[in-house]
Amino acid sequence: MSEKEDQGRDKLLDQWGDIMKTSWLAALIIVACPEALSAQQPNPSRAAITVDEPDVVAEVKAAYDRYNDAVNSGNIAVLNSTFRDDSRTIRYGQAENLYGYKEIAGFRAAARPLDPPRTLSKTVITTYGRDFAVASTLTYRANQPGKVGRQMQTWVRFPEGWHVVAAHVSTIDQPK
């Protein structure tokens, strides 16, 4: 290989090295600072999400109230129909971890009316767009003094209506 060819090859390698350094720097910026890019190039899907549209909140609240009434009355059909019939639906309970609609329905088969019924407090329903919501509440029962229940549910609107796809309930000592 001639001296001229060596110089040409070295120049190409230097240019290739500069290109690789620039590419790595761009990738690092994208990973480390995505907000810098999104500020320059707005994401239309993010801008289109409206939080807490009143009609959507009202729909979720109606489904949520129906579910909570069913918890107090032991209405198994309503309890089961509230949860999405899907193997990916999850319910973490007081003493059980249920994966899939079949496990949840099996657990619900033993449901009885609550006596005394529970009361709800500090319920927050937040909707994101028209098809996704999170509902959170504290629960109290007269026969469990000093305890507070916590319930969180993720709701999704499907063609047939609103359903819970993930839920978590737990009870703790009443914070002082």
**Residue pLDDT, tens place only, 48-85:** 899 999 999 999 999 999 999 999 999 999 999 999 99
DSSP character at residue 51:
B
Provide the pLDDT for residue 17.
Answer: 55
The pTM for the full model equals 0.73
Q: Residue with structure tokens 């796809």? A: 165
Cα 169–chain centre separation: 15
Domain layout of the chain by residue ranges: 3-47, 54-173
* 172 Cβ neighbours under 8 A, 6+ residues apart: 147, 148, 150
CATH architecture of 54-173: Roll (3.10)
